[in-house]
Amino acid sequence: MARVKIYSTGTCPLCDRAKKLLTKWKIPYEEVRVDRDRDGLREMSEITQGARSVPQIVIDGKWIGSFTELTELHMETGLDDLVEE
């Protein structure tokens, strides 16, 4: 099971950028398309305390935020332990 979950839509350029970066960094992730998955949208809303924008990123069940927070966490080496060997 992926330790990273990204809530996204099919028309979100920042979602695409976040997924490309995770792939580049060799970090596996699970994508939940909230534009197609009503249960996924409900789950995202609960985890993020009502966030309505995407992408929303969760690591090990903890909400970290959006694209900006993902890149900041990477710059602070906070994603190093998620990289596939």
Q: Read off the pTM.
A: 0.91
- 4-75 folds as Glutaredoxin (3.40.30)
Q: What is the CA angle 74-78-31, rounded to 5? A: 65
- CA 23/CA 50 separation, integer angstroms: 27
pLDDT of residue 2: 66
pLDDT of residue 83: 74
For the chain, the structural domain boundaries read 4-75
pLDDT digits (tens, 9 = 90+) for 2-50: 699 999 999 999 999 999 999 999 999 999 999 999 999 999 999 999 9
